[in-house]
Amino acid sequence: MIHVPEELAASQAKYNGEAGRAFVAALPERAEEFLGRWGLRVTGPSMYGMASLVLPVERAADGTRAALKMQILDDETEGEPIGLRVWDGAGVVRLLDHDAATGTMLLERLDEARPLTSVADTREALDVVAGLLARLVAVPAPQGLRGLGDIAAGMLAEVPGAAERLDAEDAAVLRDCAAAVREVAGEPGDRLLHWDLHLGNILAAEREPWLAIDPKPLAGDPGFDLLPALLDRFDPDDVLWRFDLLAEVVGDRERAVAWTLGRVLQNGLWDVEDGEDGLDEEQVEVARILRERRA
């Protein structure tokens, strides 16, 4: 019997309601199914994030170390195996097997005890992020993947209603970010984006020093991928040099500013939807710094 952490159960109940509770309830049976189907044995305690349960495993036939990842299927997670197949291990964890019906994946085993957060020097860590980002967004997105164009259109449609639920200052930030997105929404881009490339989603590995994990792939402009690395170990004095480092590898700085503001917009709309009192202060500060640069 596998251990399902209470934190995972709580996050699934909070964000996915009945579907999340059903997913958590089915995890022990699902784990047993795929351990048997793929000839695996568990080699350590369960690991988890907000949306997934990961079991360290090895193949019984040859002792190959791997990770069995189980997560609820939604718009974000269903593209993960598609993106991993296209990247084929170039800068990212390698997909070994996949079940389309449940979204269960067998992944290359990385060193979960050594995430990039373990690198104390922020500039050194951001250099790693920039290097991986350059490799990941160099790849064209495959057909059929969710696209930034549709996401942007949906966000812009939500802005008027969301702004009414905020105080005047936060509403102005939301509208300014939306204005920036409108300028670039007609060219949403066609690169394969990770969408969640932050220090905790990069692990040490054997075949390369560092590899990205847990992508939520979409097709779009690389500038939409910068915000998570601007917020890690947040320091307003670091925002511009971090942004310049990351924008250098994606090319067009002006578009990178606009799409980073788009990412602030996306998170802000989610905050409003979740009933938060206002926008995240750190993200508001990022938006202010980048808007001043645009002025």
- Token readout for 113 is 């005890």
Helices (H) and strands (E) in the chain, counts: 9, 11
| 196 included as an active-site residue | yes
Q: What share of the chain is helix, strand, coil (3-state, %, to 5)?
A: 50, 15, 30
User: Does an H or E element contain 69, and which?
Assistant: strand 65-71
Report how far residue 116's alpha carbon sits from residue 114's, in angstroms, rounded to the nearest whole number: 7
SS3 call for 67 = strand
Q: Which of 196, 271, 274, 277 is flagged as catalytic?
A: 196
SS3 call for 21 = helix
User: Does an H or E element contain 85, and which?
Assistant: helix 80-87
Report how far apart, in Å, the C-alpha atoms of 4 and of each of 10, 13, 15, 47, 77 are.
Answer: 11, 13, 17, 9, 19
Catalytic residues: 196
